[in-house]
Structure 1
Amino acid sequence: MTSAEIRQSFLDFFHEKKHTIVPSSSLMPDSPNLLFTNAGMNQFVPIFLGDAKCPYTPGRAADTQKCIRAGGKHNDLDDVGLDTYHHTFFEMLGNWSFGDYFKKEAIRWAWELVIGRWKFPANRVYATVYAPSAGDPSEFDQEAYDIWAELFTAAGLDPKVHIVNGNKKDNFWMMGDTGPCGPCSELHVDLTPEGDTKGSLVNMGDARCIEIWNLVFIQFNANPDGTFTPLPAQHVDTGMGFERVTSIIQGTKGFTDFVHAKISNYETDIFRPIFDEIEVLSGKKYGSTLPPADLSAITEQESTDIAFRVIADHIRTLSFAIADGILPGNTDRNYVLRRILRRAVRYGRTLGFHEPFFFKLVDVLTRTMGDVFPELRKKHAHVREVLHMEEEAFNRTLDTGIKKFAGFASASMAAAIEFPDVDATEAAYRRTELQKEFGELSVPEFLRKSLEKFPGSVQKGQPVLFGQWAFELYDTYGFPIDLTELIARERGLGVDRDGFEKLMDRQRERARQAQKKEVISVSSIEAPATKFFGYDSEEIETRVIDVVGIKDKTAVILESSVCYAEMGGQVGDTGLLTHGGESWTISDTRKAGDTWLHFISGPEIPEPGQDVSLVVDCERRSAIERHHTVTHLLHWALHEVVSREATQKGSYVGPEKLTFDFNSAALTPSQVRDIERLVNERILENAVVSWSDVAYGDVKNRADVMQIFGDKYGDRVRVVQIGGAAQRLDGYSMELCGGTHTRATGEIGLFRILGEAAIAAGVRRIEAIAGLEAFDHAVGDAQRIVALAEKLNSPIGELEKKLDAMLAHQKELEKALKAASQREAAAKAKDLLASSTAIGSTPAIIADLGAVDGDTLQAAADALKGQYSGVVVLGGSGNGAVSLVATVSPEFTAKFAAGKIIQAIAPIVGGKGGGRPDQARGGGKDAAKLADALAHARTLLS
């Protein structure tokens, strides 16, 4: 059976048993304690707890659930790639009963599906049941044992052999320290060639006997005092490893061959299409090898196969997570995704990838899994875009970071050698020599050769990468600590994790202290909440509650206010406070909890208890409102023109301008024009802008009401609506927003986009203006055009033609320069043809072209294509750096790969490089070693 047939047969089986087939829930969990949805039961927790009524009739459900286990309590990340079965993303097939059927049906149906329908050999199947040890909850699960015993006996098998007891650790499931829980019963499959282990490998952590299905019987409630009481309703919660079942069925050729079985989740049609695509992109082949425990002794093929498995696993994790709205970032689950992506990109270097490649695998994943999980098809372009941006950003520092790591690694290895017979200066010199000579070797080889080179030297310990170096790789080059540990492990190095964590703690403390300096004097303020009337009024009679000093400023706390306090991107209002003949200018309004702070200046200070008048700076407020309302229109237009996946990441709304941050690729000039025009069309419609105070629960799950993902909202929220009937929640733009706004879009006036640019990896910013600010800017543009026309002595109507002519002339110059470069390259190629020689049976041109850069080398190599068949390796040392280029004709790539040639010779000149089998580039800094590098290239061909 194919994997698709296996998945569908499971769902069809339980559909026949009157189960409702439900879609997988999102990987974004409802539980705040989870990083990701990590089990099939997550979406049903409210039903188990009695917080939600079961929506299914009868109370039965079945599904295939997307799961991620990376970070937190369940973390398989470090093991991915090193074996046949660990994943960060996997599918969990499950069937559920909510107070309906119980143990008898669950066990009988499991047997019917696995033995009856899928034809697993019954003699290879073992069941486990709960048997308590001293102090464990509940009693022996006799009911489950009896049901299994009946089934094994009917199959002619001995229940005493095929039913294995397990204690609380293996066979008792708990949701937490308290709450629903119960015994569980698992199915294990003996995969040994003879299949006669008689249950001795069950629960022994042996890959030759794999658990495939866990049947959990939720029948107790765990109480805070440690006791267990029966639940009023009994439930069934099962989970089957989809990838594991597929690996057994396909790896044994439908249970016909256990002698030559290749039981691996990666040897299935789940992963094969991804492997095929990686092979096409990299030119390398997957060999199904597994690495030794000591990764420093790994072979090239083993290293390649680890990379295949890691990349194939990680593209599934990243693609499904992003499709569910979880983006790579710097905190919590978002950082976990960024770590996983960077791990995949680093493994790409093992396969010769130096340009973005990872995002390209989204296509094959969508083709193979998009029918089962339609969100992949729907979000396909968005997923590719996010991965491409993240990959591109990390690529810029990865090579530098790897080079830095190599230096740290060689220094760490050298630090493990002591020279008791020399002074400190000589010892330092010797360590430097060891780094230069043996720094690229694994730890065991480095230590062996070092002790041979300097007799009398001793090893003082196992080399460990210092914590400050691991921290520098994290802080400067974006290397997550587990990525550093992974690279170190491949060299045989340890990592001072404690030292790293201490430095991380210091950085976090510095960040906390910096934050405290900003808010400590504000957070200590104790005052009642300010009543805000600024949505409907611009002035108010109020009373002074208190006057406080904050750093070198004075702030007045009022009983009520019409000044908006800075929040959600909108800046605070300014205004005027008066009492009798005295007045104070309000320069800013901010919040301390629910208290408004009005920062004032004036010769005197108001007295607490005084009655005062407060008026907002109406002209400034109006400019802010125009910019805030048009921000909502901009957000709407961005979704219309670009994508609804262009998610808001921040904003600034002031009187002089607005900025809007969002995740997206760069917008095209056409998209910017379309957004600007669409917003101005909506302004001309003069649609009503209204707002409603509603219960958050009423709008929480409405896709047409925009809310900032990750923000926390109270029980009541304010929805700002543009268009539709006022306060009916039927507008074309609706957002949760506490800011102030115009009453209609026509009040905004003109809208202009000033610019669109990147501000961070994957994050863009639009800067725009509206109203009089936009008018003034348009007038300024017109004046600048007039001045430019005068300088060019051209009428404004002819200005565009004159500029076009200048640009055309510039292009002609560039074209002539390129032609001259090509002629020079062709001349060099002609000279190079004369220098061709045969190395063994391979025609080769290996030459130093002198003081030229990499582009000139590439042009010369390109000029040889079509004229020459063989291997070409060129070097140059222009601009103070060494450049290397290698090309291999198609008929020779099976024997020599350009990428491997560059990888072998670039370190000689103190650099790195790589590429495809037919084309590769590299470089370095040591021009004096260029001749040595080219000489080594000749030896590679001999």
Structure 2
Amino acid sequence: MKSQEIRNTFLEFFTSKQHTIVPSAPMVIKDDPTLMFTNAGMNQFKEYFLGNGIPKSNRLTDTQKCLRVSGKHNDLEEVGMDTYHHTMFEMLGNWSFGDYFKKEAIHWAWELLTEVFGVDKDILYVSVFEGAEEDGLGMDQEAYDLWKAIVPEDRIIMGNKKDNFWEMGDQGPCGPCSEIHVDIRSAEEKAKVSGRDLVNADHPQVVEIWNLVFMQFNRKADGSLEKLPAQHVDTGMGFERLCMVLQGQKSNYDTDVFTPLIREIETITNTTYDKDSDPNVTDGKVSVAIRVIADHLRAVSFSIADGQLPSNTGAGYVIRRILRRAIRYGFTFLNTKEPFIYKLVETLSAQMSSAFPELTSQKNLITNVIREEEQSFLRTLDQGLSLLDAVIANTKDQKVSGEKAFELYDTYGFPIDLTALILSEQGYALDEVGFTAELQKQKDRSRAASKVSAGDWNILQANQSEIFVGYDTLTSDVQITRYRKVESQKDGELYQIVFDQTPFYPEGGGQVGDKGYLEAANGDVVYIIDTKKENNLIIHITKNLPNNIETTFKAVVDAKQRARTAANHTATHLLHQALRSILGTHVEQKGSMVHSGNLRFDFSHFAKVTAEELKEVEDFVNARIREGLSLEEQRGISYDQAIKEGAIALFGEKYGDDVRAIRFGESMELCGGTHVQNTSNIWHFKIISEGAVAAGIRRIEAITNDAAKEYFTSQSDAFTEVKKVLKNAKDPVKAISTLQEENTQLKKQIETLLKDKAKNLKSELKLEFQDVDEIKFLAKAVDLDAAGIKDLSFELGGEIEDVVIVLGTEHGGKALLSCYISKTLVEKKELNAGKVVRELGRYIQGGGGGQPFFATAGGKNPEGINEALQHAKQVVFG
């Protein structure tokens, strides 16, 4: 059975059990601060488990794209080393929200596996939660009795809290679970050791295939458990493992989920994949590398398709780290020195686009981003190899310090495992303890800076739904339904408050959250400094709580900030329309940030936007502003109908069945943000900058409204000052051109004078060389800049054999030292200019380096130049 048929059969089975199929949520999470990526199928349904939302059906089924590379669920370093761990994987699931429970979940799982898919009952084991005394939980007797009626008791295994109590994180929905494990070993292997003894023992052929979670509890901040408002079922079956079983394979990588990619990697890199090879030998490492690349390509491609580009922070950093791991495995074990992973996107798209069409629609973007990331990191590897050579050259005891290795890793991005490999090949050791200590220091600093501790919600009004009224009003009478205290290293002690209704727009869709205040009847005011969204809750952030939290308050949004933000948000819609009209319909929005002061808009495009095109874009948007287009808003329109009417939907965004469509003239987009009532409210649109942020992704930054007025005022003031400097010239542009021409001529004259000066100086210095051990030596302070010193040193070195020249100068209040050594001396005498300037640099309170034959050092103490020159001979010759 092919993988596509397996996926469809699963969904059709649960459709027959009155489940509604829902699409996979994006892999990158945008409205839950507790998670960076979707790491389980239940993530998109978290609000339903907590009672903060109502699903469109009490029974759902889906296949969910998941990523496990950070936090509690982190499989990254195991990927490729074995045959069943992955970064990105599909989780097949069926869900019950307060409907059926353990009986149906267990019976249907067994029916699907054994009767529909035809899995041999004799290779299956099941596990049941044995209880946890610290949580006051006993054995899951109900699940045990249900399984006992289906399978022999010797195939039921008691599982501990680690294996059979599922928790998404330190806080949140959780509950006991029953796992179904499969034993696909040979008969001979089964005769030696019972599969029962290998369950949850990390055996590659005795693996968990399906986890049935019975969601009953919520883990609170203090570690205690409270019962959820209703009982739910959350199941997750590993699609890749299911394919392995049904296709009679011993490895996930031998199924048709991965074999097309593996064959393509073999062809491109001229290598051979051996599924039975030992990962600890050379040939086996080739196969490990191929598995790593095949797996990581999927994770990176789906992330980019969902709108997350590689970057240096947050989720983008994780994606870059995954891709770089794949690149370095290819570099080290497949001997690939040129980009090639991007070529695999075509194969992946052809293979999986029927289930995930975004791979086709975003294929060009995915390909371009991966190719540029490969080129960049391969350059980093080349640079790192040169730096590592320099480190080795300066290492005397055959052991490179952890501090140096960490500098290569942290500053230059050079992988530590590659450092260790190269050192061992050259007979050097790595101070791994020192490196680990440096890495831990960095992690501690990062953790301390980002540490956030959230308390449990204090519920004032249970089951109170929250209503957003901010599209229609900026003020509203509200009551607090829940609140909690949050402490962070960055912001200190804050409070998060939820109302029964709110006019405050929460950060989302690129738009910042509203600010404002709460006013009590007695006039007391509490300022709301930000508004965010967590799943279905709109959270208002304050520095303190109101005195009487159970009364009614007047919530007031900062009208001026909202108006400016709305103008910028509407401008992004008009900008999007302009770019598609002028550059082409290939342009798609890839991110935005809408503040009250400015806007940022990222979009897909293959080339730099020319000045002429930017002018056209500006004119297009301003023409729409002058037209005075009124807002046409459709709330609660069906997604399908909105798309049919021409609305643009953004990839990577999660849309419900009913959406909000915003139209200004011919511009129509799905959007939850706030907008002006008429484009004339924007006043004017001005582009401030345009540039690249990634392969195939450009960024425009612009301003509108008050910021545009301030911009033109400041430009006018600056122009007035320029005219004053030009003595009110009638034609300022011509006057500036004349000054530039005169400046160019003066520079040429200065260059000529400096060359003459250097020529005369060279003649003088030739007479000042000393003979030291058959070497011509000179240490001298000169009045030249850095370029002049370098030219002079090389000219002297070209005319005189076997020289060591140390020169010092003061330039711009800074000290500069240089050292030139003839290459013959570098080879014969093992002299090193870099070592010389590093030693002399301490006299000028600085440092530097360079090549063995020429190096420079800069410092902040010019007064130390003479002392450095006095010690130069001793430093060079000892």
Q: Shorter-chain TM-score: which interval?
A: 0.5 to 0.7
Deviation at 1:66, TM superposition (A): 0.5
Query: Following superposition of structure 1 onto structure 2, how do residues 748-827 of structure 1 map, counting pairs within 5 Å?
Result: 757-758=691-692, 764=698
Deviation at 1:645, TM superposition (A): 3.5
**AA aligned opposite 1:126:** Y
**AA aligned opposite 1:10:** F
Deviation at 1:206, TM superposition (A): 2.2
1:27 is aligned to 2:19: no
**AA aligned opposite 2:47:** P
Counterpart of 1:338 (choices 317, 320, 326) is 320
**AA aligned opposite 1:473:** Y
Counterpart of 1:502 (choices 441, 447, 455) is 441
Question: Hey, what's the Cα distance between the residues in 2 that align with 1:685 and 1:288?
Answer: 61
Aligned residues: percent identity?
A: 43
3-state DSSP of counterpart to 1:91: strand
Corresponding residue for 1:467? 403
Query: Following superposition of structure 1 onto structure 2, how do residues 392-411 of structure 1 map, counting pairs within 5 Å?
Result: 392-405=375-388, 408=391
Corresponding residue for 1:353? 336
Question: Hey, what's the Cα distance between the residues in 2 that align with 1:233 and 1:70?
Answer: 31
Corresponding residue for 1:276? 263
**AA aligned opposite 1:474:** D
Deviation at 1:150, TM superposition (A): 1.6
Question: Hey, what's the Cα distance between the residues in 1 that align with 2:210 and 2:569?
Answer: 55
Question: Hey, what's the Cα distance between the residues in 2 that align with 1:135 and 1:504?
Answer: 30
Asked whether the equivalents of residues 82 and 204 of structure 2 are also in contact (C-alpha less than 8 Å), the reply is: no
Deviation at 1:474, TM superposition (A): 2.3
Asked whether the equivalents of residues 626 and 679 of structure 2 are also in contact (C-alpha less than 8 Å), the reply is: no
Question: Hey, what's the Cα distance between the residues in 2 that align with 1:129 and 1:406?
Answer: 56
Asked whether the equivalents of residues 128 and 166 of structure 1 are also in contact (C-alpha less than 8 Å), the reply is: yes
3-state DSSP of counterpart to 1:24: coil
Counterpart of 1:307 (choices 269, 275, 289) is 289
Counterpart of 2:413 (choices 478, 484, 506) is 478
Corresponding residue for 2:373? 390
RMSD: 5.3
Corresponding residue for 1:165? 158
3-state DSSP of counterpart to 2:247: helix
Deviation at 1:235, TM superposition (A): 1.5
Asked whether the equivalents of residues 687 and 722 of structure 1 are also in contact (C-alpha less than 8 Å), the reply is: no
1:250-274 CA-to-partner distances (Å, cap 9, x unmatched) read 234xxxxxxxxxx111111101111
Corresponding residue for 1:287? 274
Asked whether the equivalents of residues 94 and 239 of structure 1 are also in contact (C-alpha less than 8 Å), the reply is: yes
Asked whether the equivalents of residues 405 and 416 of structure 2 are also in contact (C-alpha less than 8 Å), the reply is: no
**AA aligned opposite 1:7:** R
For structure 1, list consecutive stretches of 5 or more residues without a partner in the other structure. 153-158, 253-262, 416-427, 435-462, 513-567, 571-591, 595-624, 712-718, 725-729, 792-879, 881-924, 927-942
Question: Hey, what's the Cα distance between the residues in 1 that align with 2:311 and 2:155?
Answer: 48
Question: Hey, what's the Cα distance between the residues in 2 that align with 1:508 and 1:133?
Answer: 30
Deviation at 1:204, TM superposition (A): 2.4
Corresponding residue for 1:907? none
3-state DSSP of counterpart to 2:680: coil
1:258-307 CA-to-partner distances (Å, cap 9, x unmatched) read xxxxx111111101111122122212221224445xx5xx31x2222121
Corresponding residue for 1:638? 579
Question: Hey, what's the Cα distance between the residues in 1 that align with 2:269 and 2:355?
Answer: 28
1:265 is aligned to 2:252: yes
Asked whether the equivalents of residues 309 and 316 of structure 2 are also in contact (C-alpha less than 8 Å), the reply is: yes
Question: Hey, what's the Cα distance between the residues in 1 that align with 2:700 and 2:362?
Answer: 23
Cα 1:639–1:346 shift into 2, 3 Å: farther
1:647 is aligned to 2:630: no
Deviates most, 85-94 or 139-148: 139-148
Asked whether the equivalents of residues 742 and 748 of structure 1 are also in contact (C-alpha less than 8 Å), the reply is: no
1:724-768 CA-to-partner distances (Å, cap 9, x unmatched) read 8xxxxx7789996899998379x869x9x9996547776645699
Question: Hey, what's the Cα distance between the residues in 2 that align with 1:465 and 1:699?
Answer: 62
**AA aligned opposite 1:372:** A
Deviation at 1:229, TM superposition (A): 5.9
Question: Hey, what's the Cα distance between the residues in 1 that align with 2:24 and 2:618?
Answer: 38
Question: Hey, what's the Cα distance between the residues in 1 that align with 2:355 and 2:45?
Answer: 21
Asked whether the equivalents of residues 39 and 92 of structure 1 are also in contact (C-alpha less than 8 Å), the reply is: yes
1:848-872 CA-to-partner distances (Å, cap 9, x unmatched) read xxxxxxxxxxxxxxxxxxxxxxxxx
Corresponding residue for 1:95? 94
Deviation at 1:192, TM superposition (A): 2.5
Cα 1:738–1:238 shift into 2, 3 Å: closer
Cα 1:650–1:487 shift into 2, 3 Å: farther
Asked whether the equivalents of residues 631 and 678 of structure 2 are also in contact (C-alpha less than 8 Å), the reply is: no
Deviation at 1:464, TM superposition (A): 6.6
Question: Hey, what's the Cα distance between the residues in 2 that align with 1:235 and 1:593?
Answer: 36
Question: Hey, what's the Cα distance between the residues in 1 that align with 2:107 and 2:141?
Answer: 15
Cα 1:663–1:388 shift into 2, 3 Å: farther
Query: Following superposition of structure 1 onto structure 2, how do residues 369-388 of structure 1 map, counting pairs within 5 Å?
Result: 369-388=352-371
Question: Hey, what's the Cα distance between the residues in 2 that align with 1:193 and 1:481?
Answer: 39
1:893-942 CA-to-partner distances (Å, cap 9, x unmatched) read xxxxxxxxxxxxxxxxxxxxxxxxxxxxxxxx99xxxxxxxxxxxxxxxx
**AA aligned opposite 2:680:** R
1:76-126 CA-to-partner distances (Å, cap 9, x unmatched) read 111111111111100111111112212221111111111112222211111
3-state DSSP of counterpart to 1:92: strand
Corresponding residue for 1:13? 13
Asked whether the equivalents of residues 198 and 206 of structure 2 are also in contact (C-alpha less than 8 Å), the reply is: yes
Counterpart of 1:743 (choices 672, 675, 680) is 680
Deviation at 1:74, TM superposition (A): 1.2
**AA aligned opposite 1:386:** V
1:226-252 CA-to-partner distances (Å, cap 9, x unmatched) read 765655532111111111111122234
3-state DSSP of counterpart to 2:441: helix
Asked whether the equivalents of residues 590 and 602 of structure 2 are also in contact (C-alpha less than 8 Å), the reply is: yes
Cα 1:202–1:489 shift into 2, 3 Å: farther
Asked whether the equivalents of residues 578 and 620 of structure 2 are also in contact (C-alpha less than 8 Å), the reply is: no
Corresponding residue for 1:521? none
Deviation at 1:216, TM superposition (A): 1.2
Corresponding residue for 2:74? 75
1:603-634 CA-to-partner distances (Å, cap 9, x unmatched) read xxxxxxxxxxxxxxxxxxxxxx9999988754
Question: Hey, what's the Cα distance between the residues in 2 that align with 1:735 and 1:187?
Answer: 42
1:31-85 CA-to-partner distances (Å, cap 9, x unmatched) read 21111000011111111111112311xx211111100000112111111111111
Deviation at 1:352, TM superposition (A): 3.1
Asked whether the equivalents of residues 624 and 679 of structure 2 are also in contact (C-alpha less than 8 Å), the reply is: no
Deviation at 1:391, TM superposition (A): 2.4
Asked whether the equivalents of residues 467 and 497 of structure 1 are also in contact (C-alpha less than 8 Å), the reply is: no
Question: Hey, what's the Cα distance between the residues in 2 that align with 1:134 and 1:20?
Answer: 38
3-state DSSP of counterpart to 2:91: strand
3-state DSSP of counterpart to 1:165: strand
Question: Hey, what's the Cα distance between the residues in 1 that align with 2:153 and 2:384?
Answer: 58
Asked whether the equivalents of residues 647 and 663 of structure 1 are also in contact (C-alpha less than 8 Å), the reply is: yes
For structure 2, list consecutive stretches of 5 or more residues without a partner in the other structure. 452-509, 513-527, 531-565, 654-660, 720-729, 742-822, 824-850, 853-878
Counterpart of 2:203 (choices 190, 199, 206) is 206
**AA aligned opposite 1:286:** Y
Question: Hey, what's the Cα distance between the residues in 2 that align with 1:628 and 1:132?
Answer: 53
* TM-score normalized with structure 1 length: 0.54
Asked whether the equivalents of residues 261 and 294 of structure 2 are also in contact (C-alpha less than 8 Å), the reply is: yes
Deviation at 1:223, TM superposition (A): 6.4
3-state DSSP of counterpart to 2:240: helix
Corresponding residue for 2:41? 40
Deviation at 1:332, TM superposition (A): 1.6
Counterpart of 1:667 (choices 592, 607, 612) is 607
